[in-house]
A and B are shown apart, each in its own frame.
Chain A
Amino acid sequence: GAGVSQSPSNKVTEKGKDVELRCDPISGHTALYWYRQSLGQGLEFLIYFQGNSAPDKSGLPSDRFSAERTGGSVSTLTIQRTQQEDSAVYLCASSLDSPGIGHTIYFGEGSWLTVV
Chain B
Amino acid sequence: SQQGEEDPQALSIQEGENATMNCSYKTSINNLQWYRQNSGRGLVHLILIRSNEREKHSGRLRVTLDTSKKSSSLLITASRAADTASYFCATVSQGGSEKLVFGKGTKLTVNP
Contact = CB atoms under 8 A, between A and B. Distances in A.
Nearest to A91: B42
B97 interface: yes
Contacts of A93: 43
A102 B50 contact: yes
Contacts, number: 70
Contacts of A40: 40
A70 interface: no
A37 B100 CA distance: 14
Interface bracket on B: 20 to 34
A55 B99 CA distance: 9
Interface string B66-108: 0000000000000000000000101010000111111111000
Interface string A91-116: 10100001111101111111000000
B40 A100 contact: no
